[in-house]
Amino acid sequence: MTRLSVRNLSVDLGGQPIVRDVSLDFAPGGVIGLIGPNGAGKSTFLKAILGLVPSRGEIAYDGAPLARIDRHALAHLTSYLPQDREIAWPLSVENVVALGRTPHLSTLTGLTPDDHAEIERAIALTDIAHLRDRIVSTLSGGERARVLMARVLAQAAPILIADEPVAALDPGHQIALLETLDALSSAGRTIIVSLHEIPLAARWCRRLVLLDKGSVVADGSPEDVLTHEHFAKVYGVRIHRTMTDDGLLVQPVARLPSLP
């Protein structure tokens, strides 16, 4: 219920190729981080595997092709946190988190005790219990980001896909969220996140996929992917890299003179 395989995926937007012939497999067992420069195609790739943008190639969930899975069934398999943190109405935090249960609701009934349990779990995991009755439009950027993450967690889907989930969070909450995601992946879920925060990626992702200009440049453990060559070639930066008792520490430190 948790394996996703992608073969020869290509996506064009506005006539421009954004994702070029990417083939990857995803499975549980550690947070999978998607990294790469701005415009590398990370967001587009994530949308494509969810069928939110048209694409060419094969996408299969546990062997079943995406094209044959209807929206409702897909919502039971996957949950998605978009980069766009839009909330159109001044809803309460609890209501927003409860929206995550949408795929599980039957036509006429409201929230069941199971639904409430998932909602509470999600609220606890993102540390927003004290904000429960607040209106989301009154929250800070970071608090709102945690609320939206809770919504995704409440959906309790086996595959969780998040586009830059830690961007607005303070260090404490960044680490807390990544710990949560790591625990979920150990418990059997497939977790794919895209992120820019290299030190966090180094420390918390068990596998990294480096994208540049729509193609996979590297795919492997942080030690294998976060190398000086890759950073020089893809980002044009010099890094400082050491292994410590707390794990791999990687920090970009300076720009290199412009690439050929």
Partner 1 sequence: MSYRLVVASLALLVALLFAASLFTGPAGLDLATSFDGLLGGGNEAARLVMQEIRLPRAILGAMIGATLGLSGAVLQGYLRNPLADPGVLGVSASASLGAVIAIYTGLSAAFALALPVMAMLGAVAAVMVIQVLAGGRAGTLTLILAGVAITSLAGATTSLALNLSPNPFSAMEILFWMLGSLTDRSMVHVWLSAPFMVLGWTLLAPLGRALDALSLGADAAQSMGVRLNRTQMLAILGTATSVGAATAVAGAIGFVGLIVPHLLRPVVGSKPSRLLLPSALAGASLVLAADVAVRLIAPDRDLKLGVLTAIVGAPFFLYLVIRYRRTLT
- 105 is a contact residue toward partner 1 (CB under 8 A): yes
Least distance in angstroms from the C-beta of 78 to partner 1: 7
- 155 is a contact residue toward partner 1 (CB under 8 A): yes
- 88 is a contact residue toward partner 1 (CB under 8 A): yes
Q: What is the rounded CA–CA span in Å between residue 172 and residue 127? A: 11
Which of 102/140 has CB closer to partner 1? 102
Q: Which of 27, 60, 91, 249 binds partner 1 (CB under 8 A)?
A: 91
**For 64, what's the count of Cα atoms within 13 Å in the CB-facing half-sphere?**
12
234 contact partners, CB below 8 Å, separation of at least 6? 36, 37, 210, 212, 217
- 89 is a contact residue toward partner 1 (CB under 8 A): yes
- 133 is a contact residue toward partner 1 (CB under 8 A): no
Which of 96/131 has CB closer to partner 1? 96
- 102 is a contact residue toward partner 1 (CB under 8 A): yes
- 242 is a contact residue toward partner 1 (CB under 8 A): no
- 96 is a contact residue toward partner 1 (CB under 8 A): yes
Find out whether 161 and 79 touch, Cβ atoms under 8 Å. Answer: yes
Q: What is the rounded CA–CA span in Å between residue 63 and residue 227? A: 34
- 95 is a contact residue toward partner 1 (CB under 8 A): yes
Q: Which of 15, 16, 72, 113 binds partner 1 (CB under 8 A)?
A: 72
Residue 242: count other Cβ atoms within 10 Å of its Cβ. 8
- Choose one: 2-10, 22-30, 78-86, 240-248; the region binding partner 1 (CB under 8 A): 78-86
Which of 20/85 has CB closer to partner 1? 85
- 227 is a contact residue toward partner 1 (CB under 8 A): no
Find out whether 93 and 43 touch, Cβ atoms under 8 Å. Answer: no
Q: What is the rounded CA–CA span in Å between residue 50 and residue 48? A: 5
- Residue type present at position 245: D
DSSP one-letter string for 7-61? EEEEEEETTEEEEEEEEEEE-SSSEEEEE--TTSSHHHHHHHHTTSS--EEEEEE
Furthest-apart CA atoms within the chain: distance in Å: 63
- 68 is a contact residue toward partner 1 (CB under 8 A): no
Which of 68/71 has CB closer to partner 1? 71
In the complex, the residues that contact partner 1 under the rule CB under 8 A are 47, 50-52, 70-72, 74-76, 78-82, 84, 86-92, 95-96, 99-100, 102-103, 105, 107, 148, 151, 155
